[in-house]
Amino acid sequence: MMRSHRFAALLAVLIGSACHISPFSQGRAGSGREQKAPDPIRLTLIATNDVHGWIYPQKYKLPDGTEGSEGGMAAFAGYVSILRKKNPTGTLLLDAGDMFQGTLASNLTEGSVVIQAMNRLGYTAATIGNHEFDYGPEGPSPVATRPEQDPFGALEARLKEARFPVLSANIAEAETGGRPKWLGNPGTLILEMKGLRIGLIGLTTPSTPTVTNPVNVQSLRFGALAPEAEASSRMLRDRGAEVIIGIVHAGGKCAKWDDPKDLSSCDRAHGEVFEMLDNIPPHTLDAVVAGHTHAPMGHFVNGTPVVETWGLGRYFSVIDLAVDPVKHRVMEDKTRIIPLVPICEKVDEKSLSCNPKSLKERSDVKLVQTAFMGEPVALDDGMTALMAPTLAKVEDLQNRPLGVTAAAPLTRSYESESALGMVLADALREREKADIALLNPGGLRADLKAGELRYGDLYEVIPFDNTVATVTLSYEELRRLLNAAYGSRKGVFQVSGLKIQLAKCPSEARLRGFTLENGKPLKQDKKYKVVMPDFLARGGDGLGPVMSSIAPESVDMGMQREDNFRDALVAYWQGKKNTTLQVPKPGRVQFVDDGAGCNPGAALDLHNRP
């Protein structure tokens, strides 16, 4: 990863001349002097993605007791201020979606506090992510259960609060094909900066119905990215747009991002942003701010600069877009990408980092004032004051002790069984006295630390207000369900009550076998009680085709229960005599070496972090 001082030096070179200089020199004709080449017009694109409610810093303690923090909108405001000062009339602040869902502050306000923070930062535009639909109607219910409830109520309220456009050009009414009126815009925007007409296109992953509660979006259709991007770009250029920027809640994955021209570490076969750019003419989009996969990118893809970060409000990226002052076309050779700029209130004097994972391994850490582009990063006290009332409301709930202790750290994994997944799946199965429990790995959003647990710790792991659903399945229905789960490229589902054999290479035929947890075969004439979050029972994460074929009387969505999935686990643990969580013996998910030449890490990891 590039260090902070390298970011500063590079950015200083890139945008040292913020204002557009006249493209022609003032030398006299025939003087023999060479005319100065016109300087490019510079546009500074500041990009964020997948904030997931993390508007406040993630705090930690170092071994010597020193308190540090990572991320947060108050610190981010300091970076934005410096960049705007360098390019006051040519800076765009853009977000690639999944603004909400993930923290108590965000969820208890249904995203309102996030919008307030983004308003204060002065975002130019954002796009709609799949998790923007998670809250459903306004109020406590995550889905509309009565005819008078609007499944988009919470999102509509946030769109009205936003002082910036929230765009998505590929969302349509499934019944009519028309634009939903509540979106309030066509999904595109034209603005003028530095003598340029700039077009913005918002796009949302077509997989949204499988990665939010399907009930909330059943009336919508999400168009394929490539044709929607091409059609929107053509329309904007017909209206005079000269530079087109895509703000796309879809991404990719690259293992390295130090060389923007080197795509050899990128999984180009599966990332949606690669598929989109490979299927549209070159320069349809002049830049892309991507998201959704939580995987860093800082690359030129078919000539288009693309950026994405790990998300959770801890990093941002910069595209320094160079535009020919005469032709008003983007100059790829003079455009620069700055991936993964860390957001730090203070940094270690030696490493210039605030990443707790690296700092906790050292004993000589000294935290000092953060500098960026040669200037101190000043916290926005007004941002801190804006967030304070909401944070005060959630503090008591967040710090509420559970009376439960983790004997060891419970970590998650997207592409294998995990200690965290096994503990949660076992607890869910035991609580419901079910035969099998199934959890989607994308629903586990953080690790659990060792020691006494607070409610806020578990909330970060399970921020979604899913209900506990139970499904009664025949052997054949269970077989089809497991095939769909493990063949969906949604990671390795966490399981209790079964042993699973998988091919190393993710594919539709990945499931190679399954038995009861004791190794005995399942009975083909028996019915099995399977417990899962209602997100899966409603068809999320690729289970739609199977769940739609299950008889309604075999499915209980748990809507009549008082506890959601998260609180049901708390109640179960607190009701046991032994409230210490132990890591189960591994081995319930085994990989078969089938000679396919790939490994479990080949799939996209939606929750990768440094």
Task: Note whether 456 and 570 are same-domain residues.
Answer: yes
Q: Is residue 194 part of a domain?
A: yes
Q: Provide the pLDDT for residue 128.
A: 98
| Residue-range definition of the domain harbouring residue 538 | 399-602
Task: Note whether 336 and 421 are same-domain residues.
Answer: no
Q: Is residue 312 part of a domain?
A: yes
CATH at residue 582:
3.90.780.10
Q: Provide the pLDDT for residue 34.
A: 61
Listing DSSP states for 100-158 in one string gives SSSSHHHHHTTTHHHHHHHHHHT-SEEE--GGGGTT-SSSS-SS--STT--TTHHHHHH
Bridge partner residues of 306 (DSSP): 288, 299
Task: Report the alpha-carbon distance of residue 488 to residue 511 in Å, rounded.
Answer: 11
Q: Is the pLDDT of residue 59 over 50?
A: yes
Q: Is the pLDDT of residue 599 over 70?
A: no
16 burial via Cβ count (<10 Å: 0-12, 13-18, 19+): exposed
- pLDDT, tens digit, for every residue of 199-251? 999 999 999 998 998 999 999 999 999 999 999 999 999 999 999 999 999 99
> Stretch 295-315: mean pLDDT, rounded?
97
Task: Note whether 155 and 300 are same-domain residues.
Answer: yes
Task: Note whether 319 and 403 are same-domain residues.
Answer: no
Task: Report the alpha-carbon distance of residue 51 to residue 313 in Å, rounded.
Answer: 5
Task: Note whether 245 and 330 are same-domain residues.
Answer: yes
Measure CA 163 to chain center: 22
CATH at residue 149:
3.60.21.10
Last residue of a domain, one of 344, 369, 389: 344
Residue 139's alpha-carbon distances to 143, 150, 390, 414, in angstroms, are 10, 11, 17, 31
Handedness of CA 344, 348, 351, 354 (dihedral sign): negative
Q: Provide the pLDDT for residue 595.
A: 59
146 burial via Cβ count (<10 Å: 0-12, 13-18, 19+): exposed
Q: Is residue 571 part of a domain?
A: yes
Rg of the chain taking only CA atoms, in angstroms:
25
- Per-residue confidence at 147, pLDDT binned at 50, 70, 90? confident
Task: Report the alpha-carbon distance of residue 450 to residue 456 in Å, rounded.
Answer: 14
Task: Note whether 339 and 411 are same-domain residues.
Answer: no
Q: Is residue 36 part of a domain?
A: no
Q: Provide the pLDDT for residue 38.
A: 83
> Stretch 363-391: mean pLDDT, rounded?
95
Task: Note whether 91 and 206 are same-domain residues.
Answer: yes
Q: Is residue 263 part of a domain?
A: yes
Q: How many separate domains does the chain show?
A: 2
- Per-residue confidence at 18, pLDDT binned at 50, 70, 90? very low
Task: Report the alpha-carbon distance of residue 7 to residue 373 in Å, rounded.
Answer: 8
Q: Is the pLDDT of residue 300 over 60?
A: yes
Q: Which of 221-235, 279-293, 565-579 is the least confident region?
A: 565-579
Token couple for 608: 């990768």
Measure CA 195 to chain center: 34
Q: Is residue 364 part of a domain?
A: no
Strand pairing report for 511-516 and 451-454 = unpaired
Q: Is the pLDDT of residue 502 over 90?
A: yes
- Per-residue confidence at 36, pLDDT binned at 50, 70, 90? confident
Task: Note whether 419 and 552 are same-domain residues.
Answer: yes
In terms of Cα–Cα distance, which of 566, 280, 173, 521 is closest to 402? 566
Q: Is the pLDDT of residue 104 over 60?
A: yes
Task: Note whether 141 and 226 are same-domain residues.
Answer: yes
Q: What percent of the chain has pLDDT over 70?
A: 91
Task: Report the alpha-carbon distance of residue 543 to residue 555 in Å, rounded.
Answer: 14
> Stretch 146-152: mean pLDDT, rounded?
91
Residue owning tokens 């990945």: 510
Q: What percent of the chain has pLDDT over 90?
A: 81
Q: Provide the pLDDT for residue 506.
A: 87
Task: Note whether 405 and 472 are same-domain residues.
Answer: yes
The H or E element spanning position 484 is helix 475-486
Q: Provide the pLDDT for residue 35.
A: 64
Q: Provide the pLDDT for residue 27.
A: 37
Angle at 210 between CA 209 and CA 214, to 5 degrees: 50
31 burial via Cβ count (<10 Å: 0-12, 13-18, 19+): exposed
Q: Is residue 354 part of a domain?
A: no
Neighbour order of strands in the sheet with 527-533:
494-496, 436-439, 527-533, 468-474, 555-556
Task: Report the alpha-carbon distance of residue 587 to residue 223 in Å, rounded.
Answer: 40
Last residue of a domain, one of 344, 375, 409: 344
Q: Is residue 7 part of a domain?
A: no
- Per-residue confidence at 4, pLDDT binned at 50, 70, 90? very low
Mean pLDDT of the chain: 91
Q: Is the pLDDT of residue 343 over 90?
A: yes
Q: Is the pLDDT of residue 7 over 60?
A: no
Q: Is the pLDDT of residue 453 over 60?
A: yes
DSSP conformational letter for 525: T
Task: Note whether 297 and 206 are same-domain residues.
Answer: yes
Q: Provide the pLDDT for residue 516.
A: 96
Q: Is the pLDDT of residue 135 over 80?
A: yes
- Per-residue confidence at 559, pLDDT binned at 50, 70, 90? confident
Which parts of 199-294 fold into alpha helices (H)? 208-211, 225-238, 272-278
Task: Note whether 449 and 306 are same-domain residues.
Answer: no
Q: Is the pLDDT of residue 602 over 50?
A: no
- pLDDT, tens digit, for every residue of 157-206? 999 999 999 999 999 999 999 999 999 999 999 999 999 999 999 999 99
Q: Is the pLDDT of residue 557 over 80?
A: yes
> Stretch 429-458: mean pLDDT, rounded?
95
